[in-house]
Structure 1
Amino acid sequence: MIDSYAPGDDAEVAATAAQAGADIVRDLYGRHLARIDKGGGDFATAADVAAEQAILDVIRTARPHDAVHGEESGQTGTPDGTRQWLVDPLCGTLNYAVGNMLVAVNVALRDGPAAVADPFTGEVFITDGHTARLRHNGSDTPLTPTSATRLVDVNLDAPFPNAPGFRAVDLLAHPGFVEHFRPRVVSTTLAVAWVAAGKRAAYVTDGGDLSTNLHFAAGIALCRAAGCVLTGIDGAPLGPTGRGLLAAADPETHAHLLSLIRDRA
């Protein structure tokens, strides 16, 4: 575990923290875990809480002066400071609770390095803000986006703030979509990291500004560093006025999906 302040090691702090959370998620998998109701049909489990605590322990040890926004523990430190960590300890809680292993652990320094860990494959996707790599079995390899799979992950989970102008289900029914792509619905932001890694051609989700959303920030950082094309579903840059996310492996895939979205809208 990193235990001293070294600014150049932020990517390693993110990776170590994400791995710590992933270890908890994997260790608790398959157990009967009580659900903690968060309202609106959302819930957490003891695995969410324990994983977040493990992540916070790493960050607070390595970066004691930084602010942290955790999904389960909320905000600690000054949120408008220059350094804020965004922590999503278990993205895909419903998947996890029903025995589905498609989940992710997301840790990102706002506008900086980030990591996404897959608890069950042992893969950790890491970016220092400039390059993106996959760490697996003790070695690092560069992430290389590609649209070769033709698989596009589409988030069908509520809310749908841009309906009826944009509805993801309409995109899946578009003849032009099924002619060129194959849909997937993973229901976790692990799929965003997969775009950076070449396991998905693209990812599409409704929403508002997701650039600093704790569920999406790490995946977005990975995609940016890997050279993916990132905009909102309207083609506008990500930011305070953003609308959802369209992350594509290359410009051609991005342009094609954007045209389909606009056609449906």
Structure 2
Amino acid sequence: MDLDHARTVAVEAAEAAGALLREGTRGALGTRAKGEAGDVVTDLDLASEKLLLERILTAYPSHTVIAEESGLVGAAGGEWTWLVDPLDGTNNVAIGLPAYVVGVALCRDGLPLLGVVHDPVSRQTWSALRGKGAVASSGMRLAPPYAPSPHGPLLAWTQGYGIARDDATVRRLKTALDLNARRVLQLWAPLLAWAMLARGDIDGIVGYRAGVVDLPAGALLAQEAGIEIRGLDGGPYEECVDAPADERSFVAAHPRAMPGLLSFLQ
């Protein structure tokens, strides 16, 4: 498997989907309810996903794909699995907020090896290969500095679908963040937060039972940029996408910032 070629396929597919989204947000979105938690889906989600599936499966017809809207495409349990988030930030798009991205990851036996995040608004793309670092579309390597503020860290919060509003752990974590962070962003677009962390725009991310489709691409991008990811208890972070939801809770930050972040969360 040529992962450099896979990255090229993923980047070109994500950027083509981004062009579709950028043009589509200028017109009617075809928005409708999704599930019972207040989320929505638009015609753009479906069109972007169709494009991504066609690009990936044309290049790799024997691979499996798990997509945000279509679910499992192909046989489960294969060696190679793609994870596709065709429009991360649908709720933002639905209210006219231009904060959304496209995410693609490739996993081998559940371990993410390739991650791509494309921002249609800025027309920037960031990608990473496991063990080979993370780069921007300009070719610049991502390596966020450690730059602590005396006013506390700037953090992003993300949680998976279906988390109850009165979840005790969520309330406890959010209270800790509000008391100790300079600002807490809730972007409704986790992959965008990961890209911001990998670039050094924010200081950390706290996630609770994160979604399986949008987590791997962003987490790999950040890790390959030098970001450390731990479990909420400070223990190891489970990278395999087959991990249960309880193990998809995490803290991500620069290694030198991690001890302080963990201390106020605990």
- Give the TM-score normalised by the residue count of structure 1: 0.85
**Alpha-carbon distance in structure 1 between the residues aligned to 2:15 and 2:231:** 29
- Relative to structure 1, the CA distance from residue 88 to residue 230 in structure 2 (aligned partners, 3 Å threshold; closer, same or farther) is same
Which amino acid in 2 is paired with 1:206? Y
- Relative to structure 1, the CA distance from residue 6 to residue 165 in structure 2 (aligned partners, 3 Å threshold; closer, same or farther) is closer
**Alpha-carbon distance in structure 1 between the residues aligned to 2:170 and 2:101:** 26
Tell me what 1:196 maps to.
198
**Alpha-carbon distance in structure 2 between the residues aligned to 1:166 and 1:157:** 11
The question of whether the paired residues in 2 share the 8 Å contact of 1:195 and 1:201 is answered with: yes
The SS at the match of 1:155 is strand
Which amino acid in 2 is paired with 1:102? A
Tell me what 1:218 maps to.
217
The question of whether the paired residues in 2 share the 8 Å contact of 1:147 and 1:202 is answered with: no
- Relative to structure 1, the CA distance from residue 69 to residue 60 in structure 2 (aligned partners, 3 Å threshold; closer, same or farther) is same
The question of whether the paired residues in 2 share the 8 Å contact of 1:154 and 1:205 is answered with: yes
Q: 2:29 aligns with which of 5, 26, 33?
A: 33
The question of whether the paired residues in 2 share the 8 Å contact of 1:147 and 1:200 is answered with: no
- Relative to structure 1, the CA distance from residue 170 to residue 143 in structure 2 (aligned partners, 3 Å threshold; closer, same or farther) is same
Quick one: percent identity of the two aligned structures? 31
- Aligned-pair Cα RMSD in Å: 2.1
The SS at the match of 2:168 is coil
The SS at the match of 2:169 is coil
Aligned length: 247
Tell me what 2:114 maps to.
113
Tell me what 2:70 maps to.
73
Q: 1:55 aligns with which of 52, 56, 68?
A: 52
**CA offset at residue 157 of structure 1?**
7.3
What do residues 131-158 of structure 1 show as CA deviations (whole Å, max 9, x unaligned)?
A: 10011xxx31101123437421123776
The question of whether the paired residues in 2 share the 8 Å contact of 1:146 and 1:201 is answered with: no
The question of whether the paired residues in 2 share the 8 Å contact of 1:70 and 1:86 is answered with: yes
**Alpha-carbon distance in structure 1 between the residues aligned to 2:159 and 2:83:** 23
The question of whether the paired residues in 2 share the 8 Å contact of 1:233 and 1:243 is answered with: no
| Contiguous gaps of at least 5 residues in structure 1 | none
Tell me what 1:151 maps to.
154
The SS at the match of 1:87 is strand
**CA offset at residue 214 of structure 1?**
0.7
